[in-house]
């Protein structure tokens, strides 16, 4: 059975978008994974199909209604985890991506407006995930990011298994620099060690570069690498 992704959104026409191209697109055509986009507004009552209302307690913006969202979820719910994409969620990590990719698939709820009624999040036991410390217009772009990260880990999607093992975050470190032909370009040379044919020395150089880059650019990752027991939650 293929890995299944279901999107609950007010803009189903945004999918598959870039997921219909390149690695993810070819895997979609081959049936390695499937994608369904469901229109939340189809479950809204009344002639105007309102999916939101003003927040209790006052405040700016509108809030997506629990009853509408719950009806939409009821049409697709199964044994897959339900994820709502929100800036207040736990950070999306490579370990969380691998966990989702190893399962049957995922149901993604894309929020809009000021937020989602908390009651439906609690009733459906959704996981709240954030792709970064910034705010988007809606969860659709975040859903594309999460799905791209998951799909590329599915068996048969990437050409070489090693491609996924040595990438940034897979080992807790950022990836080392890459070089290809020509060996001399614009007055810049490829590091001699990479031309030596000494695989042990190359591996040691790459590890040292990964450590140096991680220490400089992501002190949080470097601290976790040096003290694994201090790592925070990942899901």
- The token duo for 10 is 């007010």
Q: Please name which of 104, 29, 121 lies closest in space to residue 69, comparing C-alpha atoms.
A: 121
Handedness of CA 86, 91, 94, 99 (dihedral sign): negative
Per-residue pLDDT tens digits for 104-138: 999 999 999 989 999 999 999 999 999 999 999 99
Stretch (H or E) spanning 167:
none
Q: Are 15 and 128 part of one and the same domain?
A: yes
Last residue of a domain, one of 151, 179, 208: 151
Per-residue pLDDT tens digits for 87-99: 999 999 999 999 9
Reduce the DSSP state of residue 36 to 3 states and report it.
Answer: strand
Stretch among 36-40, 45-49, 53-57, 165-169 having the lowest mean pLDDT: 165-169
Reduce the DSSP state of residue 128 to 3 states and report it.
Answer: strand
What would the mean pLDDT of 59-67 be, rounded to a whole number? 94
pLDDT for the residue numbered 164 = 54
Q: Are 49 and 120 part of one and the same domain?
A: yes
Q: Are 109 and 26 part of one and the same domain?
A: yes
Domain range for 126 is 3-151
pLDDT surpasses 60 at 234 = no
For the chain, how many residues are written? 235
Q: Please name which of 33, 34, 35, 40 lies closest in space to residue 8, comparing C-alpha atoms.
A: 40
Q: Phi then psi for 68, rounded to 5 degrees?
A: -65, -45
The answer to whether position 157 is within a domain reads no
pLDDT for the residue numbered 47 = 84
pLDDT for the residue numbered 205 = 97
94 near 170, Cβ under 8 Å? yes
Q: Could you give the CA distance from residue 149 to residue 100 in angstroms, rounded to a whole number?
A: 10
101 half-sphere exposure, CB direction, 13 A CA radius: 21
Q: Are 144 and 64 part of one and the same domain?
A: yes
pLDDT for the residue numbered 235 = 45
| Number of independent structural domains in the chain | 2
The answer to whether position 131 is within a domain reads yes
Q: Could you give the CA distance from residue 109 to residue 209 in angstroms, rounded to a whole number?
A: 39
Q: Are 22 and 80 part of one and the same domain?
A: yes
Q: Please name which of 152, 145, 113 lies closest in space to residue 129, comparing C-alpha atoms.
A: 145
Per-residue pLDDT tens digits for 189-233: 999 999 999 999 999 999 999 999 999 999 999 999 999 876 655
112 near 141, Cβ under 8 Å? no
CA distances, 142 to each of 28, 33, 88, 108, 139 (Å):
19, 19, 13, 10, 5
- The token duo for 137 is 């217009």
Pairing of strands 3-9, 63-64: unpaired
Q: Could you give the CA distance from residue 158 to residue 155 in angstroms, rounded to a whole number?
A: 7
Question: What confidence category does residue 46 fall into, taking pLDDT thresholds of 50, 70 and 90?
Answer: confident
pLDDT surpasses 60 at 161 = no
């Amino acid at each position: 059975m293929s890995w299944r992704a279901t999107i609950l959104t007010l803009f189903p026409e945004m999918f598959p978008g870039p997921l219909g191209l390149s690695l993810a697109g070819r895997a979609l055509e081959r049936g390695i994974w499937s994608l369904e986009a469901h229109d939340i507004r189809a479950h809204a009552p009344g002639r105007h199909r309102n999916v939101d209302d003003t927040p209790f307690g006052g405040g700016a913006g509108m809030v997506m209604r629990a009853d509408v969202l719950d009806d939409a979820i009821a049409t697709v719910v199964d044994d897959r985890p339900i994820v709502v994409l929100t800036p207040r969620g736990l950070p999306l990590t490579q370990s969380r991506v691998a966990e989702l990719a190893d399962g049957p698939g995922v149901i993604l709820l894309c929020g809009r407006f000021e937020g989602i009624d908390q009651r439906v999040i609690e009733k459906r036991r959704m996981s709240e995930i954030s792709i970064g410390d910034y705010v988007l217009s809606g969860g659709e772009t975040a859903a594309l990011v999460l799905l791209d990260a998951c799909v590329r880990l599915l068996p048969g999607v990437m050409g070489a298994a090693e491609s996924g093992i040595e990438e940034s975050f897979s080992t807790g470190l950022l990836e080392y620099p890459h070089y290809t032909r020509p060996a001399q370009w614009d007055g810049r040379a490829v590091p001699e060690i990479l031309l030596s044919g000494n695989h042990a020395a190359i591996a040691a150089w790459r590890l040292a570069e990964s450590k140096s880059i991680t220490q400089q650019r992501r002190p949080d990752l470097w601290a976790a690498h040096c003290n694994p027991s201090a790592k925070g939650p990942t899901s």
